[in-house]
Structure 1
Amino acid sequence: MAFDGFDISNPPLDPYSERVAHAFETVGPSVVHITAHNARGRSGTGSGVLFTPDGYLLTNSHVVHGASRLTASLTDGRSFEASLVGDDPATDLAVLRLAATGLPHALFGSSRALRVGQLVVAIGNPLGFQATVTAGIVSALGRTLRASGRLIESVIQTDAPLNPGNSGGPLVDGQGRVVGVNTAMIGGAQGICFAIGVDTAVDVVARLMRDGRVRRSRLGLSGQTTPLDPRLAARLKRQPASAVLVAEVQPGGAAATGGLRAGDLLLRFDGELVANVDDLHRMLTAERAGRASEVEVLRQGRLETFQLTPASDD
């Protein structure tokens, strides 16, 4: 039906709605509903996102951990048995594999490029309602989240509403690229939800697909990505203008033994630039355990260098 030159049966969307709809139409077909069965006959559910056409999918570790059997349902009604490739409780990420080919799959974007205030879309299966989409903005970056007794760093905070069953589903930008994996909400709060950044996920996925697990070394500290004053960044010749702020030092750990303190700005690790927490995670491989490493920090306006020996995370 037309009215004054417009087809009111299919009216144009406003720009905000257009981007949300585009994100959902692009990624929605690759979102799966996961059912995790345990030996006692009970089951739990969550979401996941396919990232290859031959059946590899990404979800949360807490969705699948300890399951004796896993199944995954696609939005087109097909259902498959799923096998666990590997999971990493330290980042609450897991990779599953479906025995199928030619599947719809999403593309990964970058969480490093996210900005506070940017539109994001969460897609999942909350409370069993398949292919549900909610939208919001990036509320904060570089958060630290405690999940299952572990601290997960470099987490995205968003106000895109999540409900039970959303866990493991993708957080998507307006271009239809996966920028995070939805993992948690704060019960009783309004609009405080969290996602693991896709830059962390890409690194973990590669290790899980190669080894079935993630082996690391650790420094015994918690930190958060923090921007640097532009004048300080210029003086230090740093691009991007960010570093890792040491928030807490574990007594007896490698960082404490080596002389690091809360409030230090971690700039370089073994000569490599540390711009964010994801950089540090990638550098702390299992091969560095027991080997002395040089760490450069900014402490009260002065550059200082320390020798740290990361411990094994086994």
Structure 2
Amino acid sequence: MYNDEQNLYHYTYRKDGSEKDTGAARPTVDEQLHSYQNGPSGPVQEMKPVKKNRMGLKITALALCCALLGGAVGGGVAWAAAGGPETSVNVSTRPATQVSIKQVDGKTAMTDAEVYASSVNSVVSINTTGTSGTNFFGQAVQTASAGSGFVLTKDGYIVTNYHVVKDADTVKVTMYNGDTYDAKYVGGDEDYDIAVIKVQAEDLQSVTVGDSSILNVGDHVLAVGNPLGELTFSMSGGMVSSVNRAINVDGTPFNMIQTDTSINPGNSGGPLFNQYGEVVGIVSAKYSSTSGSESVEGLGFAIPINDVRAMILDIMTNGYVTNKPYLGITGGSMTEQMAAQYRYDVTTGVFVYSVEEGGAAAKAGLKMGDVITKVDDTNITSMEDLTVVKKQYSAGDTATFTIYRDGGQTTAEVTWDAVPAEQQSASTDKQQTQDSGQSGGYTNPYDLFDYFFGGRYNGSSAKEIG
């Protein structure tokens, strides 16, 4: 065993651990070797550690360690004082970044922080309450929702999505500084998903409207809004993933700006800014779903501001869009089955079931049985395509229609009419005719209860009016 009292590395065979010489002659090396080769001469003794009282040794060792540790620390301090290496944490002395509030002039590119500082006072949080049917006891069910918007004029006109404020009984607007206002619904358009509300205020900070037509894929954009109805005045950033993206939202086709900017419930109606701090879009929709085993994320959509700018001003003046284009037909998507039934050579387009007397289509010479295949340079393969292309025009604009008729093609110059006032008022009265299932005043059995521009079908019929 090891004896650590006299010699830390001295080994002894004695059972008691002693090293005292008893006077007996030590065996020579040859004798030890001979003994090993011929086996032990007696029973082998088990080697056991010596049981000694080492309390004093432990106390002495502890004191020694403390002394050594203290000396090391003292030596380290002295070493550091002498300029030697030391254990330290690097702390930055960089001063705080000063974010300036710049004037949005359309020429000066800004950092994300500068865009936020320059525009956040123009963004609003919108909270609405309403009712939705009745419960088991016949009591009205109260609803609440939240969205976003932005100040368009200093005297309190605010733009948001139609779906944010539709069917609302009360609308409250909260500014970045905490001021809260009761808002009045001015008007809106469901097909473009835009609405205007008004608060009684003065000298509000308004946004600067930009040009969405010059956006490029890859341009940096920012969204500021009220995600989840709680995280007010949050900003998220990304890039333009696509321009002029045609998507379908609840049966209504839209032309959208696609972006990977984080969009969440509550962002609807908020502004989409470019890097110059200008509003180029109205945040409207998000795709975030699971289809099979594939998860869909990073797909946000905003309404191009150029598509709705004139309509917003129209709503501010008249309460609804007075120059919404109207064709005056009852039509539906052409199919292969219809082509076979009528022996047509075209299988896609918009089949004209009827033409409204005195309407734009009738004035241009369109008639029942025609198939609209093109409007200006845009191919028309379905009713949805026609609905999308209509959003590029206003009442009074002229477009060239390419039509399949009697086995051949012909063209017609169509000057768009305005949607009749009674249809506009029906769309702003919370769609009472839709809820009651009425036809909206049309007697033609193929007519929809809603006006054509909404892109909605009447039951199983594939026919629409507009």
Same fold, judged at TM 0.5 (above): yes
What is the percentage of aligned positions where both structures have the same residue?
Answer: 28
Counterpart pick for 2:167 among 56, 62, 66: 66
From 351, 355, 365, the counterpart of 1:251: 351
Of the three residues 108, 119, 130, the one matched with 1:27 is 119
Of structures 1 and 2, the one scoring higher in RCO (CA 8 A, sep 6+) is 1
1:184 corresponds, among 285, 291, 301, to 285
Classify 1:33/1:118 alpha carbon distance in 2 versus 1 (closer, same or farther; 3 Å): same
Residue 246 of structure 2 is aligned to residue 149 of structure 1: no
Matches within 5 A, 1:1-314: 8-11=94-97, 19-39=111-131, 40-127=141-228, 128-152=230-254, 154-188=255-289, 189-215=296-322, 216-219=324-327, 249-252=349-352, 259-261=371-373, 265-266=377-378, 281=391, 283-285=393-395, 295=400, 305-308=411-414, 310=416, 313=419, 314=423
How many equivalent pairs are there?
264
Q: Cα offset for 1:11?
A: 4.8
Report the Cα offset of residue 9 of structure 1.
2.3
Distance 1:311-1:11 versus aligned 2 partners, 3 A rule: closer
* Shift in CA distance, 108/279, structure 1 to aligned 2, threshold 3 Å: farther
Contact 1:259/1:306 (8 A) holds in 2:
no
**Deviations 1:82-123 (CA, angstroms, capped at 9, x unpaired):** 001101101000001011101121110010111111000011
| The structure with more helix, counted as a fraction of residues | 2
* Unaligned 5+ runs, structure 1: 223-247, 268-276, 298-302
- Structure 2 Cα separation of the partners of residues 178 and 21 of structure 1: 16
AA in 2 matched with 1:95: V
Equivalent pair of 2:350/2:371 in contact (CA under 8 Å):
no
Distance in 1 (CA, whole Å) between partners of 2:267 and 2:319 is 24
**Cross-structure match for 1:273:** none
SS state of the match for residue 201, structure 2?
coil
Q: Deviations over 1:183-230 (max 9, x none)?
A: 0000222111100011122111111011111142345899xxxxxxxx
**Aligned-partner SS, 1:206:** helix
Counterpart Cα distance in 2 of 1:120 and 1:256: 46
| Corresponding letter in the other structure for 2:204 | L
Query: Which amino acid counterpart does residue 235 of structure 2 have in structure 1?
Result: V
Pair member with larger Rg: 2
1:235 matched to which residue of 2? none
- Unpaired segments ≥5 residues, structure 2: 1-89, 100-108, 132-140, 290-295, 333-347, 354-360, 380-386, 403-408, 424-466
Higher strand share: 1
